[in-house]
Structures are given as structure tokens and as C-alpha cells.
């Protein structure tokens, strides 16, 4: 087992779990890291967008029979994954700290790939409230024991092979469909969600009408469609890959909100390239417990929090080695959670 996740060894009761620290103690450790400056986010967003557009330009300069078209398309998919992660930070206004830029930039980056960012934004806010403690969480990636036991044979196969199917079959389209389906349960209660869905439909229709209209006018419609499929498969697969690795199999309410979030997410020790690609979200516990910490402070906040927990004799945050290694480890066996949201050993 290559994961150092204490959550899998704990029974989540008073005899096996070290006491959680008060929220004030946890917050004090990183209080000065919760202010966002615009520079780092502007550079991150513009550099990722530029790399994506350069890759798209390379692909469009070659025909479908050229390997350079596919090389450019693959690179565009990878860099779209990097752009897509910045839209997550934009929701929390920790990309640049400029609310108007964060809101507009996220839609510029996603409407062209059919991604309903406004809907995702509202659901993601709910995810932060419900993560680890409420099965209604719209971004929950782990099924419950009850859901598995009541499923038919095909559904059980899907649940057992969830990680592989999410990344290599679901991809970006799977995420889009999944978020739209989950939004239905909250649509009646949320006026904001209904409003964002309306604007997403208008924006996606307008942007894609323009893009594919121009492609058709220049005789490049087939190329544009194939390019979208490749970008969606790779970029969407990367986003599914990250989301599952950082959350799969973890849940359980702790003594306070901050401690719950620190232990209901998985942190990944990875290289600089992967950390850049996922915008520092490999330090995921800190992001969930303190979403106002900007991406460029997540590593420092993680280091401080680790030292604080060690000093106070509290339980360490879930930790794993490498995204690919962790994915393969998690995919070996199905993980379920109980309806009361206690982790399954």
C-alpha cells in the first residue's frame, strides 16, 4: 500500500482517533496566507490560455492526415486541463482576487467546450458545504454501501470500475452530463442556479455558433469537430483524474468543519509539472478547509498545517505518493462509504 492515509486505518471513534484541533488553532496557522494578489493568477491564466491557443493553432495549420495535427490537438487538450483548473479558483475568487475578471475569464475558458461554468460554480459552492458529510454533495465521487447493494448487475460493474470509466469513458462530456443531472435536485431551491443555467445556455450557444460558423465558412468544420473531441477527451479526462484521486473513498464528519475538510480530501506528493497542471490542488485538504487560500500559497499552508498537527499530536492529513501511482492503487479495489458518512476501512 503506497498511501499514508491514516483515514483508512482509523475506525473513526474515540478509541482510535486522535482528538481534532479547534478551528481557531487551525486557522491561526495560516491566517496570513488568505489574501489573493492579482499577479500570480493573471500570469497563470494567461500563460495556460496562450499555450492552449498556440497548440490549437499548430493543429489547425495541418491537415487531418498529418501527425502534427494530432500532436497539436493532444497538447491543446493537456493545456485545456490546466486552463480548466483555473476556473475552479475563479469560483472562489482566488485566481486573481478581482471578482469581475475571475467570473468572466472562467466563462471565456469554458463556454467554447460546452462547459456550463455558471451551473458548476453554484454546485461547487454546495460541494464545499457538503463534502465528506452529506450524500447530497453534487461532486461526491464515492458511492454508498446502500447504493451498491441496491444496484443491478450493470450498475455494480460501473461502480466497481468507476475510476477507469470516469477518466477514459466519461471524460469532459461525462462531467458536463453529471453536473447537469445533479443540478436537477437543487434547481427548485436555488434561484441562482436557474439563473446561471439560463446564462450558460445563451453563452454556450452564442460562442459555439460563432466558432463552428467560422469553421464551416472556411471549410474546416470537420477538423474543428475532431479537434473538439480530442481536447474534450484529454482535458476532460485529466479533470476527472484529479477530482477522483483527491476525493475518492474519503468521508466522515469530524469535531469541526475545518478538521472535517482537512481529512475528507487526499493530498498528493507530486512533481512540479503536475502541481502546475493542477494549480496546486494536490494540496487539496488546505483548499477545502480554507478555500480563501490562493493557489500559490497552498503548498506553504500545507507545510504549516502539517507542522501544527504534528506539534499538537493531532491526526495527519491523508497523504499519497504521485497521481498515477495513487490512481492505480485506488483503482485496484472498490471503495464505498456508509450512509452516515463514516469512512470504510
Q: What is the mean pLDDT of residues 86-106?
A: 97
The yes-or-no verdict on residue 98 having pLDDT over 60 is yes
pLDDT of residue 119 exceeding 50? yes
Rounded Cα gap, residues 163 and 178, in angstroms: 14
Number of domains in the chain: 1
Alpha-carbon span 196 to 187, nearest angstrom: 10
Is 338 a member of any domain? no
Task: Flag whether 343 is in a domain.
Answer: no
SS3 3: coil
* pLDDT > 60? residue 188: yes
pLDDT band at 314 (very low <50, low <70, confident <90, very high): confident
The pLDDT value recorded for residue 19 is 59
Written as nine digits, the cell of 115 is 462547459
The reply to whether 1 falls in a domain is no
Query: What's the pTM value of the predicted model, to 2 decimals?
Result: 0.90
Strand, coil or helix: what is 278? coil
- The answer to the question of residue 323 being in a domain is yes
Query: Residue 312's pLDDT band (boundaries 50, 70, 90)?
Result: confident
CA–CA separation, 284 vs 169, rounded Å? Answer: 25
Average pLDDT score over residue span 55-66 = 95
The torsion region of residue 137 among left (phi > 0), alpha (psi -120 to 50) and beta comes to: beta
Q: Percentage helix, strand, coil, to 5, in the chain?
A: 65, 5, 30
Residue 315 lies in a domain: yes
Output phi, psi for 14, to 5 deg: -65, -25
- Structure confidence by residue, pLDDT tens digits, 121-150: 999 999 999 998 999 999 999 999 999 999
Q: Which range marks the domain in which residue 55 is found?
A: 6-331
Q: Is 58 part of any domain?
A: yes
Condensed to tens digits (0 to 9), the pLDDT of residues 248-302 reads: 999 888 888 888 999 999 999 999 999 999 999 999 999 999 999 999 999 999 9
Three-state DSSP state, 320: strand
CA 140 – CA 137 distance, rounded (Å): 5
Q: How far apart are CA 139 and CA 128, in angstroms?
A: 9
pLDDT at site 15: 31
Residue 336 lies in a domain: no
Q: What's the pLDDT band for 27 if we cut at 50, 70, 90?
A: confident
In a domain, 15, yes or no: yes
Average confidence (pLDDT) over 298-324: 93
Q: What is the mean pLDDT of the chain?
A: 91
Q: pLDDT tens digits, residue range 65-77?
A: 999 999 999 999 9
118 pLDDT more than 50 = yes
d(CA 235, CA 49): 13
Amino acid at each position: 500500500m503506497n498511501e499514508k492515509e491514516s483515514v483508512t486505518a482509523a475506525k473513526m471513534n474515540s478509541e482510535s482517533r486522535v482528538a481534532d484541533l479547534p478551528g481557531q488553532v487551525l486557522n491561526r496557522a495560516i491566517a496570513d496566507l488568505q489574501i489573493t494578489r492579482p499577479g500570480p493568477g493573471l500570469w497563470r491564466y494567461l500563460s495556460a490560455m496562450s499555450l492552449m491557443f498556440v497548440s490549437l493553432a499548430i493543429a489547425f495549420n495541418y491537415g487531418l492526415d498529418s501527425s502534427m495535427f494530432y500532436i497539436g490537438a493532444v497538447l491543446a487538450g493537456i493545456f485545456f486541463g490546466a486552463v480548466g483548473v483555473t476556473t475552479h479558483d475563479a469560483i472562489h475568487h482566488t485566481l486573481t482576487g478581482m471578482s469581475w475578471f475571475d467570473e468572466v475569464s472562467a466563462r471565456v475558458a469554458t463556454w467554447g467546450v460546452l462547459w456550463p461554468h455558471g451551473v458548476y460554480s453554484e454546485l461547487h459552492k454546495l460541494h464545499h458545504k457538503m463534502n465528506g458529510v452529506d450524500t447530497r454533495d453534487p461532486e461526491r465521487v464515492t458511492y454508498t454501501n446502500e447504493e451498491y447493494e441496491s444496484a443491478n448487475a450493470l450498475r455494480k460493474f460501473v461502480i466497481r470500475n468507476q475510476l477507469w470509466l470516469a477518466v477514459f469513458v466519461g471524460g469532459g462530456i461525462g462531467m458536463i452530463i453529471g453536473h447537469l443531472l445533479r443540478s436537477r435536485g437543487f434547481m427548485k431551491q436555488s434561484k441562482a442556479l436557474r439563473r446561471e443555467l439560463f446564462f450558460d445556455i445563451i453563452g454556450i450557444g452564442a460562442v459555439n455558433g460563432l466558432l463552428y460558423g467560422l469553421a464551416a465558412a472556411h471549410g474546416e468544420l470537420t477538423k474543428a469537430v475532431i479537434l473538439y473531441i480530442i481536447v474534450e477527451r484529454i482535458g476532460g479526462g485529466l479533470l476527472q483524474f484529479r477530482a477522483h484521486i483527491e476525493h475518492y473513498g474519503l468521508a466522515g464528519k469530524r469535531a469541526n468543519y475545518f478538521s472535517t475538510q482537512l481529512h475528507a480530501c487526499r493530498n498528493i506528493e507530486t512533481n512540479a509539472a503536475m502541481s502546475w497542471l493542477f494549480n496546486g490542488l494536490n494540496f487539496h485538504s488546505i483548499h477545502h478547509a480554507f478555500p480563501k487560500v490562493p493557489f500559490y500559497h497552498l503548498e506553504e499552508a500545507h507545510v504549516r498545517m502539517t507542522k501544527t498537527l504534528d506539534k499538537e499530536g493531532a491526526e495527519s492529513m491523508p497523504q499519497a505518493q504521485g497521481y498515477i501511482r495513487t490512481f492505480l492503487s485506488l483503482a485496484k479495489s472498490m471503495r464505498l462509504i456508509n450512509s452516515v458518512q463514516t469512512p470504510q476501512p
